[in-house]
Amino acid sequence: MDLKIKRVYEKPEDSDGFRILTDRLWPRGISKEKAALDLWEKAIAPSPELRKWFGHEPEKFEEFREKYREELEKNPETERLISLVKEALAKGPVTLLFGAKDKEHNQAVVLQEFLQEKGSAS
C-alpha cells in the first residue's frame, strides 16, 4: 500500500488516491475545488503552540518531530485516523497533504512516519 505526502498546491492526480489535508489552518490562496480533498484532519494537526514555536525552521525540526509525536500519542483522534488510513489504504493510495513550502520539514513527514510505525501503511 502507498502512503505518500504532497504539497496541497501541487496538481491533484489520480495516483494520489484518498487525499487528507493535515494542516490546522486552511492553506492560503487555494480553493476547496483545487485542493480536491477527501478529508481535512484539523484535529490531528500540531497544536497552535507547537506550530508557532516551530515556524518551519529546519534547525528545530528534530525537536518538533519529538513534540508532535508526543501530541499524536496523547490525541484521542489519533486512533480514529489510524483506522481510517488503514481502511483507505486497503482500497488504494493515500496522500497526506500539507501547505508548507519545505517538503522535508513539516508535519506531514512526521505523520507519515508515525502512521507507518503504527501499522497503517507498509
d(CA 89, CA 122): 9
CA–CA dist 10, 121 (Å, integer): 23
- Average pLDDT over the chain, rounded to an integer: 95
Domain boundaries, the chain: 3-117
Residue 119's pLDDT band (cuts 50, 70, 90):
confident
pLDDT score of 122: 47
Q: How much of the chain, in percent, has pLDDT values that exceed 90?
A: 95
- Residue 120: pLDDT over 90: no
Task: Record the pTM.
Answer: 0.94
**Which residues partner with 20 through β-bridges?**
39, 96
Pair 107, 52: CB distance under 8 Å: no
